[in-house]
Structure 1
Amino acid sequence: MNAITVQNPDEILTLLADVALRGKGFTTESLLDYVLEEGFTEPIFLNATGEDPTAFYKGQPNAWAVYQVREWKRVLTISGGPGQERRARITETP
């Protein structure tokens, strides 16, 4: 998939609702549910890059491998890729 950057909160939430992550490590049937559970209710930035055969967008495989979701000073990074264990990490920026 082509890399994307989205800076509209509604578009970000809509896109995340269509992402499912399977495979090794961090998995979820709805990336939106996970993002909301972690308190990212009004994300202002999403960057998605790479390609992962165990990531699905709208039911199709080979969605993005790396996701960065920002809400003000908090950043959620989900990284994975072919043959890698997917990880999720939340950090605070200064």
Structure 2
Amino acid sequence: MRLNDNFAEHIVINTTRMPWEDSPMTGVQRRKLDRIGDEVARATSLVKYEPGSHFPRHAHGGGEEFLVLESVFSDEHGDYPAGTYV
């Protein structure tokens, strides 16, 4: 899959108009913004976790960054409250 993958192009995405898509894990949904690949990909997404849901531990070879918009996101490194950027 290739989606908005040319960073030389100017694009504007109204994410409020995008549907949430189910991920492979129950209770985890996403809005794909940029992607090269399928499940293992270079990707930028908005991700929404329902309370109690999780994604199994996995690696991001190209790195990972996230911004917590509400509630608390937890992983093996800690707990990150709303407003945290990692």
Which protein is bigger by CA-based radius of gyration?
2
Q: Which has the higher helix share?
A: 1
State the structure with bigger RCO (CA 8 A, min sep 6), 1 or 2.
Answer: 1
Q: Which has the higher strand share?
A: 1
Q: Same fold (TM over 0.5)?
A: no
